[in-house]
Amino acid sequence: MPKLDRTPLAITAEHDVPMPMRDGTVLRGDVHRPAEGGPFRTLLVRTPYGEGTFRSVPVRSALQAGFAVVLQHCRGRGSSDGEFRPWLDEGADGHDTIAWITAQPWSDGEVVMSGMSYLAGCALQAAATRPPGLRAVVASVTPHDFHDGLKYHGGAFALGSALNWGALQAMLGLVHAAEAGEDAGAGFGALLPVLGDQDAAARTLPVRDVPGIPWWRDWTGHPERDAYWQELAETLRHDRIEVPVMHVAGWFDLFLAGTLENHRRLGGPLVIGPWTHLGLGGSAAGRLDFGSGASGQAIRLEQRQLAFLSGEDTGPAVQIFVMGENVWRAEESWPLERAVPTRYHLHADGLLSPAPPAAAEPAAFTFDPRDPVPTTGGPTLLSDSANTGPQDQRDVELRPDVLCYTTEVLGADVEVTGPVTVTLHAGTSAASTDWTAKLVDVHPDGRAMSVVDGIVRAWESSGTFEIDLVATSQVFRAGHRIRVEVSSSNFPRFDRNPGTGRPAAEAAEADLVVQHQKVFPDSYITLPIVPR
């Protein structure tokens, strides 16, 4: 019978330890460390989501690897004092927290940080302040910028994710205020209807009038990258980050573009799995199960992250999960140098083909913003957590305002790995409109499973419009077909373009304009084809 020769590890844990910031605000957190030995390198994780987030941190594994672990609440959250201001204070507070840690007798003067989403942003913002003692960061599924790719995508407001996250943070703020003895009744009264029916809240017109979220008018009132966003951008200066960073991404994560851009600017190892934002490290996404080998556990992701934070990582520079084939593969760099950008043209008769079209007549459809195309899967963060990842698009494709372009049945596997863009030559009757595109894998049984999608907000009535679908690694198997969908909305993932040429956040119901659209057959999708 196998026997494990293991020695018990005695732990010292302190809860709600006060940590003063430079402005006198006291933040609090939990400190875990081995009861004997030391001093220790410390893993710092900072969160705005309360104590529940701490349960997903690999505290036990980190302790066994020789770290002390500090789990801190961001200001105005959990047991920390102060007011929560999204993104504004995380760099300075992270810097001051690292200074506090390195001054403790159990610290060896070295700190590393880790996290996903906002938590990863906290780590990168702290790194941008160049705190003495910070040695490495693991940043998972996090944006590279607070305007582009977080609140706005291709110029369209990321309505669904902003509403879902904003309502959550507003609720946490009210709970924090109530625990501090403040009267939060009016705030709860305004917010509870939004929390109770986010679908209805998303249809609020004008969009800027959604109640209960303190920062809502700031987000919706600054559609362009102006001084408001530039002030936030100064808290995440990639050119000031000097420590090594490991990046973890998901093919179905709404911050895939941000993680890839962080990797491009900062270097470091990159791991991309078939994961959604909240399903990081799992084996299933949306309506597809990629098998147990797709999980983070299968590639020992947690162990590799701790090795990286210890300065002992020996893994590949890039590790990607190739969907369709459902295998992990090591690569030397991203994007893949051997991938060949290949145009597949959108023919007027609905054919998608590498051959250029002969006819010049456009395809046409009518878009009514009162009846937008419903969000069906994709890189989402909606209140309906099941509406994410690959989903069957057949119901969407029955709509008259969705154009479909499909290849013939594939006679051999086609691997698409890398950045994907759609170039539309198109026109509208409206003063402004949106153009959306979606890449779809059509199975032999008829299922039309979404792969990637994107949007661009157009202010010209006609022209050439490039839609960024970010990236994927998808093998379209022999017997399948490749499809591209084109339309003018994806709601509530993105806000509706009223068609008036005015900012969308200001449009009332009476301002919504029916838009007559034309897509010309010299349009195409660029697929990075990997020779096989």
Any idea which residues carry the catalytic annotation?
117, 253, 277
Amino acid at 518: K
For residue 322, the Cα-to-chain-centroid distance in whole angstroms is 19
10, 20 contact by CB (below 8 A): no
Amino acid at 54: F
| Long-range Cβ contact pairs of 264-267 (< 8 A, separation 24 or more) | 265/144, 265/238, 266/238, 266/241
Q: Which two tokens stand for residue 329?
A: 């593969």
How far is the C-alpha of 430 from the C-alpha of 224, rounded, in Å?
A: 20
Which residue bears the tokens 């068609």? 499
SS (H, E, C) 357-405: CCCCCCEEEEECCCCCCECCCECCCCCCCCCCECCECHHHHCCCCCEEE
Count helices and strands (H / E) in the chain. Answer: 11, 25
Q: Which two tokens stand for residue 359?
A: 């006819």
CA of 336: how far to CAs of 139, 273, 280, 329, 339, in Å? 22, 16, 23, 12, 6
CA geometry: angle at 125 spanning 90 and 141, to 5°?
A: 105
